[in-house]
């Protein structure tokens, strides 16, 4: 590992003078191309993202069997929770119940668990159609994970050996593993105080080998998509949005995942909607779609739809989802917009109540209306003060933590990447396939480490009664005022 602070050689490229829309603090909005408004000015999520009537059902229409949220538990449901240790601090946020059980029963009783060979037109095809409608894209491929969606997206874009893909230093390691899986090298860029990739650092990291950018909408927060798309157009790069933590969020009125060339979603256990493990790739680009479709199903040559493909077949994998998971996802999708609305409503209430009560600012948000609302991020002037805050609110029974402690989401802990062991076999290792220009070190993104170390997270809960939210806010306010 090299001690250098830069993670690759930039000698052959000069940054260009691309106009970069900056992130906006919600307290001092700038009405730019994508106006970021104050919470008090903003419309509800639903007005920015029109949904089909099918998705407008009220929360009460769905009676959850078990409500697994990521904050205060419902003690009536305690025997249904999977992780009792996590009471009051669970990372799970999904809502799941009788409808999902019924959907699984329906599939099992049908005897058709496979999406092809009789399953055509079934749960998976219908989920893909519904997800395309929700996100506002032409094509969806449901897959086995968010990682699979990212890999299929890069394959669809034709990314491969010799190419570089810029990823943020704050994301789950899968974002950086995906380029390696297709033979390309991840280049790690800084995040800024918005906790999403810093457009200025993207420009600094561009070389003639750069082929794509993967902005990540971390903890439901939209990245600065205007700036990223401007940069991508200027340099001729592809954009694969990692919306794995932002199912259903939006930016400038468009759903996340639909703005770049393609978007990847995760439906694993920790995501806004879930089927345990699952994912989806979305795109409007027919060639990306076809190549991803070919790659995700090595048996594509034997499917009914093979004759409709205009791209030549090549060797693929198996990232196919099954009918049981798709049936669960179809129910989960009916819950999505109500959850987003409830979480964003809570987030606005928390922000309005806490604003000006202590020595912190809220981390700026690139689109307060498109934010998924899962997480409230508070930025302190020092790590010491941030830790003092999180410790004291925890003592009062409120879940609070810091991204600085989320090991797997910080580039400095990505051992396989920092040590440049890119594959199980040297002949498949992207680091050995490309010119050896990349170096990594744990301290190469100091801005990222600084922002994460000063940020604290509080969490929303889409099913929390107002009086519990009020108690939580009062507890946090007491701590903030005394800091």
Ligand X SMILES: Cc1ncc(COP(=O)(O)O)c(C=O)c1O
Determine the interface stretch with ligand X among 99-107, 126-134, 239-247, 430-438 (rule: CB under 6 A).
239-247
Selected binder of ligand X within 90, 196, 210, 268 (CB under 6 A): 268
In the complex with ligand X, the residue whose CB is nearer, 195 or 472, is 195
Closest separation in Å from C-beta 84 to ligand X:
23
Q: If binding is defined by CB under 6 A, does position 194 make contact with ligand X? A: no
Selected binder of ligand X within 147, 250, 363, 374 (CB under 6 A): 147
Q: If binding is defined by CB under 6 A, does position 146 make contact with ligand X? A: yes
Q: Do the beta carbons of residue 21 and residue 224 sit within 8 Å? A: yes
Could you tell me which of 358, 344, 425, 419 has the C-alpha nearest to residue 393? 358
| # residues near ligand X by CB under 6 A | 14
Report the C-alpha gap between 204 and 164 in whole angstroms.
13
List the x/- string, 414-433, binding to ligand X by CB under 6 A: --------------------
Closest separation in Å from C-beta 276 to ligand X:
10
In the complex with ligand X, the residue whose CB is nearer, 244 or 398, is 244
Closest separation in Å from C-beta 176 to ligand X:
9
Q: If binding is defined by CB under 6 A, does position 279 make contact with ligand X? A: yes
Q: If binding is defined by CB under 6 A, does position 244 make contact with ligand X? A: yes
Collapsed DSSP state (helix, strand, coil) of residue 483: coil
Alpha helices by DSSP H, 49-111: 98-110
Q: If binding is defined by CB under 6 A, does position 174 make contact with ligand X? A: yes
Closest separation in Å from C-beta 216 to ligand X:
5
In the complex with ligand X, the residue whose CB is nearer, 89 or 146, is 146
**What are the Cα distances from residue 10, in Å, to 81, 147, 210, 288?**
50, 28, 11, 29
**DSSP state string for 400-458:** EE-GGG-GGGBGGG-HHHHTT--SSSGGG-HHHHS-S-B---TTS-HHHHHHHHHEEEE
Closest separation in Å from C-beta 477 to ligand X:
30
Report the C-alpha gap between 396 and 48 in whole angstroms.
36
Q: What are phi and psi of 423, to 5 degrees?
A: -165, 170
Which tokens is 109 given? Answer: 């009783």
DSSP 459: E
CB burial string 386-418: b at 16+ within 10 A, e below: bbbbbebbeeeebbbbbbbebeebbbbebeebb
Selected binder of ligand X within 140, 171, 283, 390 (CB under 6 A): 171
Residue nearest ligand X, Cβ-based: 146
Determine the interface stretch with ligand X among 22-30, 168-176, 254-262, 354-362 (rule: CB under 6 A).
168-176
Report the C-alpha gap between 421 and 57 in whole angstroms.
48
Report the C-alpha gap between 328 and 399 in whole angstroms.
29
Report the C-alpha gap between 182 and 188 in whole angstroms.
17
Q: If binding is defined by CB under 6 A, does position 275 make contact with ligand X? A: no
Selected binder of ligand X within 180, 187, 195, 216 (CB under 6 A): 216
Determine the interface stretch with ligand X among 16-24, 63-71, 141-149, 355-363 (rule: CB under 6 A).
141-149
Closest separation in Å from C-beta 151 to ligand X:
9
Q: If binding is defined by CB under 6 A, does position 175 make contact with ligand X? A: yes
Q: Tell the burial category of 314 from Cβ atoms under 10 Å away from its Cβ (0-12, 13-18, 19+).
A: exposed
Selected binder of ligand X within 242, 261, 337, 338 (CB under 6 A): 242
Q: If binding is defined by CB under 6 A, does position 266 make contact with ligand X? A: yes
CB-based contacts of 70, cutoff 8 Å, min separation 6: 89, 90, 91, 92, 93, 374, 399, 459, 461
Binding site for ligand X (CB under 6 A): 145-147, 171-172, 174-175, 216, 242, 244-245, 266, 268, 279
């Amino acid at each position: 590992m090299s001690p250098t602070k830069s993670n690759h050689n930039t000698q052959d490229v000069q940054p260009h003078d691309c106009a970069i829309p900056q992130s906006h603090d919600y307290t001092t909005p700038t009405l730019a191309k994508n106006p970021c408004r104050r919470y008090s000015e903003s419309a509800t999520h639903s007005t920015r993202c029109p949904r089909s009537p099918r998705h407008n059902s009220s929360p009460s229409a769905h009676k959850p069997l078990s409500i697994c949220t990521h904050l205060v538990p419902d003690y009536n449901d305690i025997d249904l929770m999977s992780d009792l240790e996590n009471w009051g601090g669970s990372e799970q946020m999904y809502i799941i119940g009788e409808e999902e059980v019924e959907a699984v029963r329906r599939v099992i009783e049908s005897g058709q668990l496979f999406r092809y060979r009789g399953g055509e037109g079934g749960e998976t095809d219908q989920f893909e159609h519904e997800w395309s409608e929700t996100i506002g894209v032409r094509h969806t491929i449901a897959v086995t994970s968010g990682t699979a969606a990212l890999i299929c997206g890069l394959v669809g874009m034709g990314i491969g050996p010799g190419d570089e893909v810029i990823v943020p230093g704050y994301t789950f390691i899968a974002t950086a593993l995906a380029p390696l899986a297709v033979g390309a090298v991840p280049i790690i860029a800084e995040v800024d105080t918005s906790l999403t990739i810093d457009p200025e650092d993207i420009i600094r990291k561009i070389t003639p080998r750069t082929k794509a950018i993967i902005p990540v909408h971390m903890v439901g927060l939209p990245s600065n998509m205007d700036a990223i798309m401007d940069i991508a157009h200027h340099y001729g790069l592809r954009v694969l949005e990692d919306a794995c933590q932002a199912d259903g969020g939006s930016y400038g009125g468009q759903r996340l995942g639909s703005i770049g060339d393609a978007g990847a979603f995760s439906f694993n256990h920790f995501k806004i909607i879930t089927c345990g493990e699952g994912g989806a790739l979305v795109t409007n680009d027919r060639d990306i779609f076809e190549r991803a479709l070919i790659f995700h199903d090595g048996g594509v040559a034997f499917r009914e739809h093979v004759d409709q493909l205009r791209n030549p077949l090549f060797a693929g994998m198996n990232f196919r989802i099954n009918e049981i998971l798709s049936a669960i996802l179809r129910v989960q999708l009916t819950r999505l917009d109500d959850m987003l609305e409830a979480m964003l409503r809570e987030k606005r209430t928390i922000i309005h109540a806490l604003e000006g009560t202590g020595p912190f600012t809220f981390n700026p948000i690139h689109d307060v209306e498109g934010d998924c609302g899962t997480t409230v991020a508070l930025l302190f002037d020092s790590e010491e003060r941030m830790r003092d805050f999180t410790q004291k609110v925890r003592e009062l029974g409120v879940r609070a933590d810091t991204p600085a402690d989320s090991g797997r989401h910080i580039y400095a802990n990505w051992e396989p990447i920092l040590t440049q062991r890119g594959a199980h076999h040297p002949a498949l290792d992207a680091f050995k396939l490309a010119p050896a220009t990349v170096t990594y070190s744990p301290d190469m993104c100091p801005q990222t480490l600084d922002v994460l170390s000063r940020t604290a997270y509080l969490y929303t809960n889409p099913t929390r009664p107002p009086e519990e939210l009020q108690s939580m806010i009062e507890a946090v306010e007491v701590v903030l005022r005394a800091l």
